[in-house]
Structures are given as structure tokens and as C-alpha cells.
Amino acid sequence: MTTMAAATAGGRTARPRPATMAQALGRALRDSMAEDPTVHVLGEDVGTLGGVFRVTDGLAKEFGDDRCTDTPLAEAGILGAAVGMAMYGLRPVVEMQFDAFAYPAFEQLASHVAKMRNRTGGAMPLPITVRVPYGGGIGGVEHHSDSSEAYYMATPGLHVVTPATVEDAYGLLRASIASDDPVVFLEPKRLYWSKSDWSPEEPAPVEPIGRAAVRRPGRSATLITYGPSLPVCLEAAEAATAEGWDLEVVDLRSLVPFDDETVTASVRRTGRAVVVHESSGFGGPGGEIAARVTERCFHHLEAPVLRVAGFDIPYPPPMQEKHHLPGVDRVLDAVARLQWEAGS
């Protein structure tokens, strides 16, 4: 493994070392700030503390309080101020501490951030990145585990991006900050400590927003997923080989824009699809994705497009969340149901 190689080579810094997703995100912020003096980070606890997940660690020290600012505790105020900063030519990156804490800022997001380019006829785009740690699986108490992506997806004018790998965390956050459109950047918090061999000197490439990635090629069915559910799907795909299933796993990486091309091509190849995500199924992202797939692939489908989602309940207490979150078995059960026969 590269990790071992780096260690035995005497720890030369250029060699890839294990880095966490949180570190890669921090590095993306740092590199963006170093390259572009208009990039400003603001939020509650992002300065001295370095963020509750330490993503912004060291930024205030390196760039000063004016570039990495601890704000009053007020999400609408943080995002509203970011709108004004962007109007004056800055490129604010806002941190919402937890998914459910972002709701007070929703009016700013829906009424202003998402609409400013449109309502000014293109005269005033807002290059704002809103970082939202989201999803469950870390034992967080109430209001610390919401999967809020459907709200953002349903708001025209926002890009909604969610990385599932350390490399994507870096590359997609760089791309989001560089984008002249507002981006809601959803960080799967249970993957913050996931690791990959990663060299800060040769960071992952910055890829355009809006392209899905085939994480595992396969022939018998497609698992369509993103963010925190990607590792679940990859594990399910490995387990399914015992049953003779060769599953393809597509990581969407971006919910808006949606990569119809990659998804459609995959499902047309495999003829079967399951959408997997943590957020509630009813009115959730899976319904939209299943509908799009059905509209484009109907004659290629051997079975209905299935959804494996969180239950339609408010996020449960941490000691119960294991029942709510889709796990490998639930994905495999859905895959088994893909052996569907007309009339059955």
C-alpha cells in the first residue's frame, strides 16, 4: 500500500499519506484562499476553534480574522452578510455548523442566494459556497443529523454538490468556490474521518461540478447513490457477488446539475436500478431520480426502479438511527427484488 511505502521511504512529504476528508476540505479552503484574495470564510466557530469538525483549522492564523471570520451566532445573518459581500466582489464560503442549524438561513438561500443572478438578468451572480455538514451515523443528538438535500434540490438556482471520497472533497470544494454560481456543498459528516492516500503537494484534480462517477463497473444492476451512502453501496456490491450479482455503483457527486447522461448510460447497460440515500424516501431525491431514469430508460428496464431510503420519520434519536439508515442488507434486499417478473 502507498501508505506503507510512504512510511518506509522516510516520510518524504511529497509522498501520499493518509488524509481525512475533513483535512482535504480544509486544504481546499486553504488553497482557494491562497490563490484568490477575494475568498473569505465566515461562520460560527470557524476562526479560533477551527470549526467544530476542525475543517477550518489554521485558516484564521494563516489569513487573519478578516479572511476567516468568527461571526455572531445567527445563520440568516451569516448568509445574508455573505450575499452583501458577494455583491461587492468577494467570494464568501459560509459554514453552517450542522444541517438543521441551516434552516434559519433558508429564506436568505431561497429568496436571495438562489435568485440573485436570475432577478438581475445576469448582472449580479453570487459566487457563494454554503458548506453544510449533513446526514447521520455519528450518534448526534436531535437536530445534528438531518439529510436536508431535497430542500436544496427543490430550489431552482442552487447547485447542490456532495462528495463521497477524500479526493472529491478537495476537488469539488475547489470547483464550488471557483464557481460563479451559488453552491450548497453538503459534507457527509460520517465520512469526515474516512481516509485516503493523498498528497497535499499534488492534490486531487479539480473537476467540474455536475458529473457523476462510476465507482464500480458492473453488468447486472446499477446502484445510484451519493455522499454518505456510497461506502454502503460499494460494500453491498462486493457482498452481492456471492449471489452472482455484478453491481455497478454510480456516485452522483452533484445532485444539481444532475448527470442524466452517466446515469442513463449505466441503467441502459444493466437494465436494473436501485437508488440509495439516507434522506426520507417520500418527496426525497430518490423519487426524482427514479422518475428520470424511468423516463429515459423505460424500454431498457427489466424491473421497476427501486428506492432504498431513510424512513419517512423525523431523524431518530442516536440509539435508534441504525434502524433508519439504509445499510448493506437493506440494499441487498432491494437488489434481490430486482428479479422482478411481470405480473408478480
Partner 1 sequence: MTVQELPGAPAHRPTPPPAWKPLTDPAPLLPDPEPYRVLGTDAAADADPELLLRLYAELVRGRRYNAQATALTKQGRLAVYPSSTGQEACEVAAALVLEERDWLFPSYRDTLAAVARGLDPVEALTLLRGDRHTGYDPREHRIAPLCTPLATQLPHAVGLAHAARLKGDDVVALAMVGDGGTSEGDFHEALNFAAVWRAPVVFLVQNNGFAISVPLAKQTAAPSLAHKAVGYGMPGRLVDGNDAAAVHEVLAEAVARARRGEGPTLVEAVTYRMDAHTNADDATRYRGDAEVEVWREHDPILLLERELTGRGLLDEEAVGTVREAAERMAAGLRDQMNADPVLDPMDLFSHVFEEQTGQLREQAAMLRDELEAGQEPHGGGAEDAR
- By beta-carbon proximity to partner 1, the closer residue of 14 and 74 is 74
The answer to whether 257 contacts partner 1 (rule: CB under 8 A) is yes
| Cell matching residue 78 | 451569516
Under rule CB under 8 A, residue 76 binds partner 1: yes
Decide: is 85 part of the binding site for partner 1 (CB under 8 A).
yes
HSE of 89 in the Cβ direction (CA atoms, 13 Å)? 2
Instruction: Give the residue carrying C-alpha cell 431523524.
Output: 315
Q: Give the nearer residue to partner 1 in terms of CB position, either 118 or 339.
A: 118
Q: Which of 57, 235, 260, 302 binds partner 1 (CB under 8 A)?
A: 260
Please report the DSSP string for 150-161 in residue order: HHHHTSTT-EEE
Whole-angstrom Cα distance, residue 280 to residue 286?
9
Total binding residues toward partner 1, as defined by CB under 8 A = 49
Contact 292, 244 (CB under 8 A): no
**Per rule CB under 8 A, is residue 122 in the interface with partner 1?**
yes
Residue from 58, 156, 205, 304 that binds partner 1 (CB under 8 A)?
A: 156
Specify the residue, 53 or 185, whose C-beta has the smaller distance to partner 1.
185
Work out whether 118 is an interface residue with partner 1 (CB under 8 A). Answer: yes
Say if CB 306 and CB 273 are below 8 A apart.
Answer: yes
Provide the residue type at 69 as one letter: T
For residue 84, the tally of other CB atoms under 10 A from its CB is: 12
Per CB under 8 A, 77 contacts partner 1:
yes
Which residues are known catalytic residues?
144
Tell me the three cell numbers of residue 46. Answer: 470557524
What is the contact surface with partner 1 in residues (CB under 8 A)? 40, 66, 71-72, 74, 76-77, 79-90, 92, 104, 107-108, 111-112, 115-125, 156-157, 159, 179-181, 210, 256-261
